[in-house]
Amino acid sequence: MAKYLLLKHYRGAPAAVNDVPMDRWTPEEVTAHVQYMQDFADRLEGTGEFVDGQALAPDGMWVRSDGQGKPPVTDGPFAETKDLIAGWMIIDVDSQERAIELAGELSAAPGANGEPIHEWLEVRPFLGAAPTITE
């Protein structure tokens, strides 16, 4: 089994096919979208492949240490970043093919007009633990 991170971007990813911002969907479309995501997570839990899923607020800031004894410096909210992560799902699957298959399903979540968004998701493998036998 290998864990993969499925990353959803507010911006920074190539444009989706059904590229209408969520705030211009109908309330029913938003509900349908949220339900799809929830069903997807439930289904993965049922198949023993779900690890975690979280959504992130679009607002945030950069924080940097400014040296010992000084308060951290902040910058933001993200004025300059091109890439903005909206959320993630972590799955634990048998193969990369399965990770891609699941990301494809997640990308097809319904959006405006009830049509699949077909958005780009980033799929990143986790680095695991070292195996005991290497020779």
Partner 1 sequence: MDEALLRAIVPTVIGVLGRRGADFAAAEDAVQEALVEAVRVWPADPPRDPQGWLVTVAWRKFLDAVRADTSRRRREIRVDEQPAPGPAEVVDDTLRLYFLCAHPSLSPASAVALTLRAVGGLTTRQIAQAYLVPEATMAQRISRAKRTVSGVRFDRPGDVGTVLRVLYLVFNEGYSGDVDLEAEAIRLTRQLAGMTEHPEVAGLLALMLLHSARRPARTRTDGSLVPLAEQDRGRWDTRLIAEGVDVLQAALARDRLGEYQAQAAIAALHADARTAEETDWVQIVEWYDELVRLTGNPVARLNRAVAVGEADGPRAGLAALAELDPALPRYAAVAAYLTERDGDPAAAARLYAEAARAATDLPEREHLTRQAARLNAGIRGCVRRGYFSAEASVARVAGVTLPRRAVVALGGNAMTGPDGSATPAAQRAALAVAAGHVAELVAAGVEVVLTHGNGPQVGNLLVKNELAAHEVPPVPLDWNVAQTQATIGFTLADELDAALAALGVPQRTAALVTRTLVDAGDPGFAAPSKPVGRFLPREQAERFIAMGQTWEDRGPRGWRRVVASPEPLSVVDGPAIHALAEAGFVVVCAGGGGIPVADDEGPALRGVEAVIDKDLTAAVLARDVAADALVLATDVPNVMVGFGTPAARPLGRVTPAELRAHAAAGEFARGSMGPKVEAVLRFVADGGERAVVTTLEHITDAVTGDDVGTVLHA
Which amino acid appears at position 101 of this protein?
Answer: E
The answer to the question of residue 96 lying near partner 1 (CB under 8 A) is: no
Residue 44 or 106 having the CB closest to partner 1: 44
Stretch that binds partner 1, among 1-9, 16-24, 55-63, 80-88 (CB under 8 A): 1-9
In angstroms, give the least distance from the CB of 49 to partner 1.
7
The answer to the question of residue 97 lying near partner 1 (CB under 8 A) is: no
Among 4, 36, 40, 50, binds partner 1 (CB under 8 A): 50
The answer to the question of residue 3 lying near partner 1 (CB under 8 A) is: yes
Instruction: Tell me how far apart the terminal alpha carbons of the chain are, to the nearest angstrom.
Output: 21
The answer to the question of residue 52 lying near partner 1 (CB under 8 A) is: yes
In terms of Cβ atoms closer than 10 Å to its own Cβ (0-12, 13-18, 19+), residue 5 is middle
- In eight-state DSSP terms, residue 69 is T
Cα separation, 86 vs 60, in Å, equals 11
